């Protein structure tokens, strides 16, 4: 038996009103640059956010959460 989710029911009194309000949630345009950043982060398994947020994620996970430097390490 299927029942509508409570959050969906809060979108309106009638089916038509709920459907209209649900569709309106997806009307916002997302900037292509942001979409590219999201896709790149997902593909590389990296964190998307501010440097402060990335620092905190790296501390909590104990691993890198942002891209490293390309190439071999410099010799000392």
Confidence (pTM): 0.52
Checking if the pLDDT of 68 tops 90, the result is no
SS (H, E, C) the chain: CCCCCHHHHCCCCCHHHHHHHHHHCCCCCCCHHHHHHHHHHHHHCCCCCCHHHHHHHHHHHCCCCCCCCCCCCCCC
pLDDT of residue 19: 94
CA–CA gap between residue 41 and residue 48 (Å, rounded): 6
Radius of gyration for the alpha carbons in the chain, expressed in angstroms and rounded: 21
pLDDT in tens, 11-59: 999 999 999 999 999 888 888 999 999 999 999 989 999 999 999 999 9
């Amino acid at each position: 038996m299927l029942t509508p989710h409570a959050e969906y029911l809060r979108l309106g009194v009638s089916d038509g009103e709920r459907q209209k309000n649900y569709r309106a949630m997806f009307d916002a345009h997302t900037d292509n640059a942001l979409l590219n950043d999201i896709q790149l982060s997902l593909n590389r398994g990296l964190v998307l956010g501010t440097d402060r947020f990335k620092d905190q994620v790296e501390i909590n996970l104990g691993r890198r959460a942002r891209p490293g430097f390309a190439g071999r390490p410099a010799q000392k």
